[in-house]
Every structure is written in C-alpha cells, then in structure tokens.
C-alpha cells in the first residue's frame, strides 16, 4: 500500500515525490487502463501518456508493473534528456525498505551489468565511425547502379536477369541491415538525424515503413521470445515454438496444421513468403490504417524509382515479376539470418528476468568473420546487440569479451556457434517443438 497523503495520485503533482510505494502495489498496476512502471526507483504513472510514447504504445506497456530501468537506458540515446518528459508522470518512489529490483532479481548481477554499460560508455563504444556507415551506404548504392548498368549493356536475357536479381536482392538485404542501424539510433549523436536517415533508407531504398518497423522491432528487443509481447514469435498458428507452446496446443487438441511436419513445410512457408507476402501486406495496411503519410510518401518514392528504372527494359508486368523475385530471394536471406539467433533459444511466457538474463536466454551469437559480419549485418553479435541496441555495430566485437566474462561470473549461458550449425538448429528446433506437440496431442 502506498504511503503518504492522497495527493500525488495524479501524475504531475509536486507532492508525488513524497509518496512511497511497495513492489506489491506497483505490480497491480499492469492493466491496459492502469499502468505504472519504475525507473531508477522512481514510480511513474504512464496510463494516459503511453499512447503518445514515440517508441509505440505496446513497447512501454510491456513494462507496466515492472522495473524498466535497464530497458530505459538501452533504448534512449540521451536518458537524462528524456527524463524531462517523465517528470509530469512522476507519482512517487519505491519505499526505502523496498529493493531496487523486483521479483527477486539478483541485485549484484544487475549492478554489475550497469557497471559494464558504464565501462562501454567510457570506452566510447557508443560512438559511431562515420566512415564505416558512409562506405556501407555507398556499397548499397553501387549495387543499385551496377544492376542498371548490367541490364543496360547486356539486355534482359534469363542469365542477365538472374544475376541482376541476385545483385538487387543483395542490395535490399544490406539496406535492411543499414536501416536497422539508423532505426536503433546507433549512427548519429542526435535522435532526429537517425530518424530522418532511417526514413530515407527503409523508405526510399526499400519501400517500407519506419514507423511499422519501430513499433514492431522495439517490442522484440524489449521482451525477446516472450509470447504475447514479442511479435516475432507470433506465428499465427502456422508454427509452434519452444517447449511450452507445443504442449499447450497439444493438450487443447489444437491442430491448425500438422505441426509434427513444421520443420518440413518451414521451407515452403517461412523463407519464401515472409517479405514478399506477409510483410508487404502488413506494411501497407499499417501505413494506411495509422495514417503514416510520410512513410507512405517515402515508400512511393522507392516504387517510382524502381519502375522508372526497369519498365523501359522489362515492361510493367515484367518489372512486377522481377521485384517479386528479388523480394523472394531477399526473404530467404532475411529469415535464415534473423531466425538463427532466436528460434533455437528459449521461447516462453513472461518470466520477469533481469535485462542480462532475459536477453541471453533469447539470443545467441554466430562466430565472427569478415563474411559473417557482412552477411548478417553484424547480427552474428546478436547478444551484444540486444544488450546494447544503440551501440554501433562495428564496436560489438570490442564489448563481447567483457560480456562473456560477466556471464561466466554469474553462470549465465553465453552461446556462440558456427553459421552452418545455426541454420541447422532452426530446423532442429522446429522438429523438436513439433514432436512435443504430437506427443501432447496424442497422449495428454
């Protein structure tokens, strides 16, 4: 029960700072119409403000009733600047006898992780190298130009078109990794510049929506591999993931598809269809439904540029088929790279782990090499990326040894594997989940 006078219950009252709350009371405020959270022992009522949260309603709502300190630090370039927006929402603080961490989290582990973040800041690991990102953007533009030159000089034969498609798919995949950098605010010191260039890269170079990506992807980072919170594990009943969901579906006799064969139909459904079908439909619907007109304009500029470039060679229908095939190729690349770090890991309901433990349970790394860095957009360092999402990717390898050391100290599993094994583990994990479903479906 909160301590102090009744004043301060409404956000924004100065007297709120004199009111104290227990974790038990704070945890009760995790409803759609009643949301509190804690940042550095301060209690905030975000119920009315959550809908105006720049990162989206859902990502901040996922921390209702919880300590959000580490997530707050992870997602914001300048937390002290953002604090001024929190002041009107302040309603009090944790009672002096209450621990800083909720739900029995290890306070020493949490403190050591925060010390590690401070070490990374002192090492300037959150400072981007402009040359790296300039060269990265340049190599994407060069591939776009090379595709045009190829069809201009060699025509529209099958071999030329196939090579052209591979070049464009590579360009699109790499632009996807680059927009990811700007979306995470990891390039410029000021958020505004990251947002502007993000819209250019994801909109003009890829024909997608920055707002759609932000609202979806930040949820994934906030609560990775958590059912009902991470949209990336919402498989629309096409797949069952992890160990608990297959058993739950089996016991309830749910059989939308023969899940014991999901590791086989995965090849027909997930890699070929995610980008050209599901994402394309979702992006367009999101931009129209939420009136993201700026995003729609950027996406329109991409399609205008693409069709102006290729209609003279392939005609309207041929250009549409070419774009679909490019998306088809890119989708395979995207799915294998993004799923190898997550599907084989723990996928379950919310367990309220600390930031380090929750991210390590849901992610793994792929062995470092020049090719792996380029091929995955440095998402082979998925662990470091999830722990420090605003860190420029070219610095992941510098912080990795310190992360490993911290994990060893507290017995947190730090998994790293070869690229080929990571691909195989996706299929193996789906097969295992399918077998769990079948056993529960038949015998429980």
State the DSSP string of 82-119: HHHHHGGGEEEEE-TTS-SSSTT--HHHHHHHHHHHHH
Q: Is residue 6 part of a domain?
A: no
pLDDT of 83 reads 82
**Shared domain check, 115 and 95:** no
Domain boundary among 36, 70, 104: 104
CA 84-87-93 angle, to 5 degrees, is 130
Q: Is residue 247 part of a domain?
A: yes
**Shared domain check, 310 and 383:** yes
Q: Is residue 348 part of a domain?
A: yes
**Shared domain check, 167 and 228:** yes
Ramachandran sector of residue 12 (left: φ over 0; alpha: ψ -120 to 50; beta: rest): left
Rounded to an integer, what distance in angstroms lies between the CA atom of residue 200 and that of residue 210?
A: 9
| Residue 53 structural domain | 20-104
* 436 closest CA partner among 247, 205, 245: 247
Q: Is residue 9 part of a domain?
A: no
pLDDT of 84 reads 83
Domain boundary among 104, 130, 146: 104
How much is the pTM? 0.93
Rounded to an integer, what distance in angstroms lies between the CA atom of residue 272 and that of residue 275?
A: 8
State the DSSP string of 38-78: EETTEEEE-TTTGGG-TT-HHHHHTTTTSB-HHHHHHH-S-
Ramachandran angles phi, psi of 404, nearest 5°? -60, -45
Domain count, the chain: 2
**Shared domain check, 320 and 403:** yes
The domain that contains 82 carries what CATH number? Answer: 3.10.120.10
User: The dihedral of CA 57, 63, 68, 74: what is its sign?
Assistant: negative
Name the one residue in this structure whose structure tokens are 């079948």: 438
pLDDT of 80 reads 81
CB half-sphere exposure, 1, CA atoms < 13 A? 4
Instruction: List per-residue pLDDT tens for the chain, 444 residues long.
Output: 444 434 444 444 444 447 999 999 999 999 999 999 999 999 999 999 999 998 899 999 999 999 999 999 999 998 888 888 899 999 999 999 999 999 999 999 999 999 999 999 999 999 999 999 999 999 999 999 999 999 999 999 999 999 999 999 999 999 999 999 999 999 999 999 999 999 999 999 999 999 999 999 999 999 999 999 999 999 999 999 999 999 999 999 999 999 999 999 999 999 999 999 999 999 999 999 999 999 999 999 999 999 999 999 999 999 999 999 999 999 999 999 999 999 999 999 999 999 999 999 999 999 999 999 999 999 999 999 999 999 999 999 999 999 999 999 999 999 999 999 999 999 999 999 999 999 999 999
Rounded to an integer, what distance in angstroms lies between the CA atom of residue 107 and that of residue 296?
A: 46
Q: Is residue 314 part of a domain?
A: yes
pLDDT of 78 reads 87
**Shared domain check, 389 and 354:** yes
**Shared domain check, 92 and 141:** no
Q: Is residue 33 part of a domain?
A: yes
**Shared domain check, 89 and 218:** no
Q: Is residue 242 part of a domain?
A: yes
Q: Is residue 363 part of a domain?
A: yes
| Residues present in the chain in total | 444
Spatial contact of 280 and 208, defined as CB atoms under 8 Å apart: no
**Shared domain check, 259 and 235:** yes
């Amino acid at each position: 029960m909160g301590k102090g006078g009744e004043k301060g219950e409404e956000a924004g009252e100065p007297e709120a700072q004199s009111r104290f709350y227990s974790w038990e009371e704070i945890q009760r405020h995790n409803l759609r119409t009643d949301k509190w959270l804690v940042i550095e022992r301060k209690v905030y009522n975000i119920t009315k403000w959550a809908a105006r949260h720049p990162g989206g309603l859902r990502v901040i709502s996922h921390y209702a009733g919880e300590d959000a300190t580490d997530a707050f630090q992870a997602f914001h370039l300048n937390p002290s600047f953002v604090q001024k927006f929190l002041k009107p929402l302040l309603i009090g603080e944790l009672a002096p006898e209450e621990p800083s961490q909720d739900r029995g989290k290890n306070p020493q582990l949490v403190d050591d992780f925060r010390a590690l973040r401070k070490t990374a800041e002192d090492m300037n690991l959150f400072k981007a190298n402009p040359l790296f990102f300039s060269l990265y953007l340049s190599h994407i533009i060069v591939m776009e130009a090379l595709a045009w030159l190829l069809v201009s000089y060699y025509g529209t034969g099958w071999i030329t078109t196939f090579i052209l498609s591979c070049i464009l798919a590579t360009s699109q995949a790499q632009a996807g990794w680059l927009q990811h950098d700007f979306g995470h605010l990891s390039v410029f010191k000021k958020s505004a510049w990251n947002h502007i260039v993000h819209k250019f890269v994801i909109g003009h170079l890829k024909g997608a929506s920055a707002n759609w990506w932000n609202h979806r992807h930040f949820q994934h980072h906030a609560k990775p591999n958590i059912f009902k919170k991470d949209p990336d594990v919402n498989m629309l009943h096409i797949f069952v993931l992890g160990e608990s969901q297959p058993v739950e579906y089996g016991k309830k006799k749910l059989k939308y598809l023969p899940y014991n064969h999901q590791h086989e139909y995965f090849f027909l459904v997930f890699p070929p269809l995610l980008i050209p079908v599901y994402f394309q439909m979702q992006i367009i619907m999101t931009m129209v439904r939420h009136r993201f007109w700026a995003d729609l304009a950027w996406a329109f500029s991409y399609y205008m540029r693409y069709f102006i470039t290729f209609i003279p060679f392939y005609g309207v229908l041929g250009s549409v088929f070419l774009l679909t095939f490019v998306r088809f190729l890119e989708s395979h690349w995207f799915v294998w790279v993004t799923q190898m770090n997550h599907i084989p890991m723990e996928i379950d309901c919310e367990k309220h782990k600390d930031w380090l433990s929750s991210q390590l349970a849901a992610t793994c790394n792929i062995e470092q090499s020049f090719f792996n860095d380029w091929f995955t957009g440095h998402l082979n360092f998925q662990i470091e990326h999830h722990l420090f999402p605003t860190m420029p990717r070219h610095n992941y390898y510098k912080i990795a040894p310190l992360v490993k050391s911290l994990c060893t100290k507290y017995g947190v599993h730090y998994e790293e594997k070869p690229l080929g094994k990571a691909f195989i583990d996706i299929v193996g994990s789906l097969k295992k989940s399918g077998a769990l479903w079948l056993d529960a479906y038949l015998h429980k």
